[in-house]
């Protein structure tokens, strides 16, 4: 297909052109016609030749009748033979037979034949009774004359006639075929080749170039119809391609727009998902990570502490609890309790700023701080700072027997790689330490001592 488009069709690709086929057909037709014409014309010519011979014999009869009759009447045999010799000079005459009747005896027959003559059924024969008129009013039959035509003369005449007919018919056929070929080539073949070349070179880029034929005047024939059809087809194709391109552009622009919308929508959904995830992991009251988030972080950090080498192998946990918060609620109401929780959470959050540390509200008035890569000593120091930070808020708490303001107790425990137990065990130790801090008077931090499970280290409160 591509090769066809790249190479215009040439005459070399045609096995037998239309012009050649037309000429061969014309020649074949002419040959048949020539044979028929030769047959018909030969028949006519034969008849004409026979008629001419008959007329010639008749003329000879008329001319020689009187002379022959007189010679017989006069019994002048010498003159009679001389007459017959002169008659035999005529080319049309093949045989002369003169029959002379005689009384009481068989008739005398005088005969003369051209050399090589033979009887023929085709050549004309004339027979005439000779009469002599010795005096006006009396006619006496004196004999019969038979003139037979020479068939060879007829055939010789026919031969030249047939040759002439054949020559004229063949020349006529050849001239006709040449003229047909010339006319067909000028009128049809060269234009058909031009149309084929035009169609082969046709591409979307050349559709605007109409097909034209180099012909004189405005002709309204089949070629003109074909040219009009091709140009109309090119126009239709051009319109179709133009519309297709326009549709493709529109489609591309719709696709881009759709893609933008999908991207925007996806971004919105991702943002909403992120927000949902953050919300689902955030405590609504304090804004701190909630228990679900804490559980997620604790799993990761504990697994990391189990795997890693020191110092990352350490993990400290602080469990913080507001002292006598039930009494606070009972004294100041639940709403004030909420505000108190928010203030305490914010104060603690300001102290837990190291990247990787997690402060979460795990329920009620209970908070947890997860401190990766932190040993018990440093964790205890932070716990004391948290207690001090809450105390520094000076939120009045008249019902507390610890102080006249809200205070915090913190239990501390830690885990190191190689230590037995899971996170729940760590939590349990921190909870024990918290219990210890509460028992020891609240508003303080206590650290679970791993060396002796019933021993706690308590951190003195830092100065406020
Ligand atoms: N306002 C408010 N109160 C809460 C919230 N969650 C839990 N509480 C209250 O916190 C109180 C916790 O009391 P307890 O567990 O008995 O402990 P406590 O009164 O702090 O006593 P100690 O822990 O021994 O010092 C309960 O009265 C709960 O109703 C909350 O979101 N808002």
- Is there an atom of ligand 1 within 6 Å of 321 CB? yes
Pick 291-459's CATH classification: 3.40.50.1820, 1.20.1440.230, 3.30.70.270, 3.40.50.720: 3.30.70.270
> What tokens were used for 185?
């080539």
Average pLDDT for 187-211: 90
Report yes or no: 93 and 57 within 8 Å, Cβ to Cβ.
yes
CB distance 365 to ligand 1 below 6 Å? yes
| pLDDT tens-digit series, residues 330-382 | 999 999 999 999 999 999 999 999 999 999 999 999 999 999 989 888 999 99
* Cα–Cα distance measured from residue 278 to residue 289, given in angstroms and rounded to the nearest whole number: 9
Q: What is the pLDDT of residue 13?
A: 58
- Minimal CA–CA distance to 408: which of 354, 343, 454? 343
In the block, which residue shows the tokens 């017959």?
Answer: 84
Three-state SS annotation for 108-125: EEEEEECCCCCCCCCCCE
Question: Which CATH code is given to the segment(s) 19-171?
Answer: 3.30.450
- At a CB cut-off of 8 Å and minimum separation 6, what does 413 contact? 316, 317, 376, 426, 427, 429, 430, 432, 433, 447, 448, 450
C-beta of 329 in contact with ligand 1 (< 6 A): yes
Closest residue by Cα to atom 14, ligand 1, is 326
| pLDDT tens per residue, range 242-283 | 999 999 999 999 999 999 999 999 999 999 999 998 889 999
Q: Chain-wide mean pLDDT for the chain?
A: 87
Q: Using the mean position of ligand 1's atoms as its centre, give its distance from the Cα of residue 431 in Å.
A: 16
Q: Interface pTM (ipTM) of the complex?
A: 0.96
Pocket test for ligand 1, best of 324, 331, 364 (most atoms within 8 A of CB): 364
**Is 326's C-beta closer than 6 angstroms to any atom of ligand 1?**
yes
Angstrom distances, CA of residue 87 to CA of 73, 96, 152, 356: 19, 8, 18, 156
Q: pLDDT band for 456, please (50, 70, 90 cuts).
A: low
* H-state helical runs in 281-375: 291-307, 325-332, 334-351
If you average pLDDT over residues 181-205, what whole number do you get?
Answer: 89
Which token pair is 405?
């303001």
> HSE-up of 75 (CA within 13 Å, CB side)?
3
Mean pLDDT of 299-313: 72
HEC states along 119-156?
CCCCCCEEEEEEEEEEECCEEEEEEEEEEEECHHHHHH
Which pair of structure tokens corresponds to residue 130? Answer: 């000779």
pLDDT value for 305: 77
Residues 23 and 174: their CA atoms lie apart, in Å, by: 9
- Nearest CA-CA partner of 448 in 464, 463, 426, 433: 433
Q: How far is the CA of 382 from the centre of ligand 1 (A)?
A: 23
Residue pair 357/372 in contact by the 8 Å Cβ criterion: yes
Distance 333 CA to ligand 1 centre (A): 12
**Packed helices 151-184 and 18-73: angle between N→C axes, nearest 10 degrees:** 160
Q: How many whole angstroms from 378 Cα to the centroid of ligand 1?
A: 28
Residue in the structure block whose two tokens are 């791993």: 450
Q: How confident is the model at residue 415 (pLDDT cuts 50, 70, 90)?
A: confident
Q: Is the CB of 325 under 6 A from ligand 1?
A: yes
pLDDT in tens, 126-179: 999 999 988 888 888 999 999 999 999 999 888 888 888 888 888 888 888 888
Q: How confident is the model at residue 196 (pLDDT cuts 50, 70, 90)?
A: very high
- Mean pLDDT for 68-81 is 88
User: Which residue owns the Cα nearest ligand 1 atom 8?
Assistant: 364
Active site positions, annotated: 365
pTM of the model as a whole: 0.53
Which pLDDT belongs to residue 14?
59
Residue 438 near ligand 1, beta carbon < 6 Å:
yes
Q: Tell me, letter by letter, the H, E, C secondary structure of 176-218.
A: HHHHHHHHHHHHHHHHHHHHHHHHHCCCHHHCCCCCCCCCCCC
**d(C-alpha 414, C-alpha 435), whole Å:** 16
Answer whether 323 contacts ligand 1 (Cβ < 6 A). Answer: yes
> Which residue's alpha carbon is nearest to atom 4 within ligand 1?
364
**Other beta carbons less than 10 A from residue 320's beta carbon:** 27
- Residue 303 pLDDT: 82
Q: Ligand 1: which of 344, 365, 434, 443 to mutate, most ligand atoms within 8 Å of CB?
A: 365
Instruction: Answer whether 324 contacts ligand 1 (Cβ < 6 A).
Output: yes
CA of 324 to the centre of ligand 1 (A): 7
For the record, the structure tokens of 210 come out as 């109409």
Which residue from 319, 326, 342, 410 has its CB within 8 A of the most atoms of ligand 1, so it is best to mutate? 326
User: Which atom of ligand 1 approaches the CA of 329 most closely?
Assistant: 1
Is the pLDDT assigned to residue 295 strictly greater than 50? yes
Calculate the CA 457 to chain-centre distance: 86
Least Cα distance to 101 among 160, 42, 141 occurs for 141
């Amino acid at each position: 297909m591509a090769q066809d488009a790249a190479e215009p069709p040439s005459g070399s690709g045609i096995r037998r052109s239309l012009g050649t086929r037309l000429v061969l057909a014309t020649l074949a037709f002419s040959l048949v016609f020539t044979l028929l014409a030769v047959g018909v014309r030969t028949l006519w010519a034969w008849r004409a030749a026979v008629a001419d011979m008959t007329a010639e014999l008749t003329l000879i009869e008329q001319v020689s009748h009187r002379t022959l009759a007189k010679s017989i009447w006069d019994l002048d045999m010498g003159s009679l033979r001389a007459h017959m010799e002169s008659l035999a000079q005529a080319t049309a005459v093949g045989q002369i037979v003169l029959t002379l009747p005689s009384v009481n005896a068989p008739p005398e027959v005088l005969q003369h034949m051209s050399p090589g003559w033979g009887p023929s059924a085709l050549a004309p024969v004339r027979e005439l009774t000779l009469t002599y008129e010795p005096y006006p009013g009396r006619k006496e039959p004196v004999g019969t004359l038979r003139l037979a035509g020479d068939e060879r003369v007829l055939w010789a005449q026919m031969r030249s006639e047939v040759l002439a007919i054949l020559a004229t018919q063949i020349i006529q056929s050849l001239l006709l075929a040449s003229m047909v070929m010339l006319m067909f080539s000028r009128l049809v073949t060269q234009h058909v080749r031009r149309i084929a070349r035009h169609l082969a070179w046709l591409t979307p880029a050349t559709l605007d170039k109409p097909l034209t034929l180099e012909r004189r005047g405005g002709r309204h024939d089949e070629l003109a119809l074909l040219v009009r059809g091709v140009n109309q087809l090119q126009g239709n194709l051009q319109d179709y391609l133009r519309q297709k391109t326009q549709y493709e552009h529109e489609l591309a622009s719709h696709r881009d727009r759709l893609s933008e919308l999908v991207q925007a929508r996806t971004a919105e959904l991702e943002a909403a998902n992120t927000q949902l995830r953050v919300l689902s992991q955030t405590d609504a009251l304090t804004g701190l990570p909630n228990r679900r988030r804490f559980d997620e972080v604790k799993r990761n950090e504990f697994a990391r502490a189990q795997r890693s080498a020191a110092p990352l192998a350490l993990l400290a946990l602080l469990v913080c609890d507001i002292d006598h918060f039930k009494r606070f609620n009972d004294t100041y109401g639940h709403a004030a309790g909420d505000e108190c929780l928010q203030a305490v959470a914010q104060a603690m959050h300001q102290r837990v700023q190291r990247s990787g540390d997690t402060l979460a509200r795990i329920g009620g008035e209970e908070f947890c701080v997860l401190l990766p890569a932190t040993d018990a000593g440093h964790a205890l120091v932070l716990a004391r700072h948290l207690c001090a930070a809450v105390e520094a808020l000076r939120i009045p708490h008249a019902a507390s027997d610890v102080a006249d303001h809200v205070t915090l107790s913190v239990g501390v425990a830690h885990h190191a790689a190689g230590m037995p137990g899971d996170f729940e065990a760590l939590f349990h130790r921190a909870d024990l330490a918290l219990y210890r801090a509460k028992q020891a008077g609240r508003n303080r931090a206590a650290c679970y001592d791993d060396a002796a499970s019933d021993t706690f280290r308590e951190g003195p409160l830092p100065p406020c």
